[in-house]
Amino acid sequence: MTFTVLRRVLVLAAFLLLPLSGCDDIVKKIVGVPGQDAPPTFPDFGVDGDGTVDERLGITGVVPSHGSFTGGQTVKIYGSGFGGKELTVTFDGKEVKKTDIQVLSPVQLEVVTPAGRVGPVDVKVEGGGEQAVLTGGYTYDPVALDPTSGPTAGGTLVTIQGKGTDFKAGMKLELGGLPLTDVEIVSATTVRGKTAPHAQGPVDLVFSDASGADVTIREAYTYYGSANPLNGGLGGGKLNGTLTVTVLNAQTRAPVIDAQVVLAKDRQLVLSGKTDGTGTIVFSRTDLTGPVAVSASAEKYETTTVDQFDARDLTIFLTPIIPPQPGPLPPGQRLGLIEGFVVFGGSTGAGSTTWNIVPEPKPGQKKRVYVYTTNSLIRFGAPFAASTATIDFDATQPATAWPYSMYSRLGSLAVYAIAGIYTDATGKFEPYAMGIARGLTIAPGDYVKVNVLINIPLTEKVTVEMPSVPSKMNRHRVRLAIDLGAEGFIVRDDTEIEGDGVPASLPIGRLPSFNKAGLGDAAYTVDVLLDNAGSPTGLPIVRATERTVQPVAGKIIIDKLIGAPVQTKPSPGGPLQGNTIAWTYDGATPNLAVTVIQRPDETPVWRIISPGTQNIVKLPDPSTYGLIGWPTGTTLVWLQWLAHLPGYDYNTFNYSHTSSSYWDRWSFDQFSFKVP
């Protein structure tokens, strides 16, 4: 059995949890444009003197006026003539996906930015035979923050990825004028740190460039003190008499009116009521302190419980129950096209007619090169090489460059080529050298020419060690990737190893030295998946992701694994009693637990967010407290995740934390029970 059987589980882990993402300019101190991050107040704003909307295509402003070079930021474009025509929007010539363009009105668009080069770029809108350009209308910042918001209490672990940066020990690194704490310099382009307490609102990021001068990114991060409509969750500090609960539609962020909200303390009802026209209800009592549990319920929505928290503001996202919608799939996105040449070189320079960096093949073998783009996420396995990006050496056809062509994903990425020996009989490929071209940004429909110089020998080795393995795990898949920060991951077939058993030590070779050109800021990310080979589905699973690490004495240690949850109450397949669910586990302690209960057809029923330190949840009785009742006479499916987030405080929970991209350790299993 292979790990293919786990695809459904991994898709759930990635998506079901969400209730529903030129270097010289550094020296020039490219920053956001002051005064441009509020809706502009241009004189006519697209309206003629007689009060009618100007139908001529025009652009007057972009808000926000700057954002990360990685793209993905939602911005509004103000102007005129946007209605009644099919529009194309580009930033620096890079096209915005059609599905990422929303016409809000004849004078306002909402778009999602593509990745781009650092610095100010032109914004263009085309449609109806017209075009409008705002010169320098948007600025791509040289850094990307993740996350971009957090509570006023501070303590949020923020990862900052740069392009053309030179992060190093002792550098200035401030948010809102306060230095980040527990700073870890991962590489010249990646740094981590925790936020200090700060008043709510947007704040600037300030960091030192290579010369020691300050670079300012305006409004790079937002502190929130209460309801968080972007990511939901907890905030406002410790609960002390008043709790404000806001209930929003998980998909639209619209208020859920007349939702029933129940507040319990020590497993007993304290207060309850319904949300108002803004989706809000406020509970006040002089003795109201944490920890408390809050449940929210509404017709045609999944019920949600946030358990045992100590915060004065809570924003709950209720997932709507939507029946299947037959019809055609939405339009796909246009990919990029990359073409160029592979060139061999080394100490003697580039342009060799022979591939001397690869040994001579034996009979039945050939010298081969594969060309790829980096993965956007490590959870994606090694990419497939297109036939047009696969090159075999032919001594009868001397050349100094070999052409390739391939379609590309969108965003910030790198192109790399792996050269080695291919054996015809077995299909086995042994890599010996690589080359890399970095700093690319690809938008829909882009055509880019990129040449790749193969001059890096693959001579290094790293050993992945797993000193302690939770029980029931008897099969492994270990994926070692070269982490290039915002440009993605190099994942190769031969650095992804799977098999029966769980070895304590796993050597992985044929790796490049990071002191080579193009890899000076690289690190490793290791993704481990353990499962049970005796199970038809492979469940349970245990996972670990060690991000952006450098080996110590040639080793990367993967420890503190969280054992898989084991159902204890109700008994497997047994009746629900006392509205209580409980589980056990072995191994390290999680700091977040996510429970999803659904019908067999995956219709959502109840979602529970709870601290990972507890393994029992007593839910309010729906019939007693006015919540939507359990579906009776059926067997329900119980999905249970136990997760660990680095530097995490449960009382600062937001819904982005339910994405496995924030987890460094987690486990999962699926159970069932009946409702009498």
Fold matches, 143-224 and 233-301+308-318: yes
Any idea which of 244-258, 277-291, 497-511 has the lowest mean pLDDT? 277-291
pLDDT band at 20; cut points 50, 70, 90: very low
The single-letter code of the amino acid at 478 is V
pLDDT band at 42; cut points 50, 70, 90: very low
CA Rg, the chain, in Å?
A: 27
Q: Note whether 118 and 161 are within 8 A (CB).
A: no
CA 361 to CA 383: how far, in whole Å?
Answer: 25
Residue 475: the pLDDT is 94
Residue 3: the pLDDT is 45
Residue 564: the pLDDT is 96
User: Is pLDDT of 30 > 50?
Assistant: no
pLDDT band at 324; cut points 50, 70, 90: low
Tokens of 599: 């019908």
Mean per-residue pLDDT of the chain: 86
Quick one: 143-224 is in which CATH superfamily? Immunoglobulins (2.60.40.10)
Mean pLDDT of 466-477: 92
pLDDT tens-digit series, residues 215-258 = 999 999 988 766 666 788 998 788 888 888 999 999 888 999 99
How much of the chain exceeds pLDDT 70, in percent?
A: 89
Q: Note whether 328 and 339 are within 8 A (CB).
A: no
What secondary structure does DSSP assign to 556-620, as a single string?
EE---PBPPPEEEESPTT-B--TTEEEEE--BSPPSEEEEEEE-TT--EEEEEEE-TT--EEEPP
User: Is pLDDT of 450 > 90?
Assistant: yes
For the structural domain made of 233-301+308-318, what CATH number should be given?
A: 2.60.40.10
pLDDT tens-digit series, residues 659-669 = 998 999 999 99
Residue 332: the pLDDT is 62
**What residues does each domain of the chain span?**
31-141, 143-224, 233-301+308-318, 336-557
For the structural domain made of 31-141, what CATH number should be given?
A: 2.60.40.10
pLDDT tens-digit series, residues 312-322 = 889 999 999 97
Mean pLDDT of 584-610: 95
Q: Note whether 520 and 166 are within 8 A (CB).
A: no
User: Is pLDDT of 550 > 80?
Assistant: yes
Q: Note whether 648 and 589 are within 8 A (CB).
A: no
CA 350 to CA 359: how far, in whole Å?
Answer: 18
pLDDT band at 15; cut points 50, 70, 90: very low
User: Is pLDDT of 17 > 60?
Assistant: no
CA 634 to CA 649: how far, in whole Å?
Answer: 37
Residue 290: the pLDDT is 87
Residues paired with residue 530 on neighbouring β-strands, in sequence order:
476, 542
Mean pLDDT of 290-307: 95
Q: Note whether 456 and 347 are within 8 A (CB).
A: no
Residue 328: the pLDDT is 64
Any idea which of 344-358, 502-516, 522-536 has the lowest mean pLDDT? 344-358
User: Is pLDDT of 32 > 60?
Assistant: no
Residue 333: the pLDDT is 67
Any idea which of 239-248, 290-299, 308-317, 450-459 has the lowest mean pLDDT? 239-248
User: Is pLDDT of 619 > 80?
Assistant: yes
User: Is pLDDT of 48 > 70?
Assistant: no
CA 622 to CA 403: how far, in whole Å?
Answer: 66
Q: Note whether 619 and 262 are within 8 A (CB).
A: no
Mean pLDDT of 418-425: 96
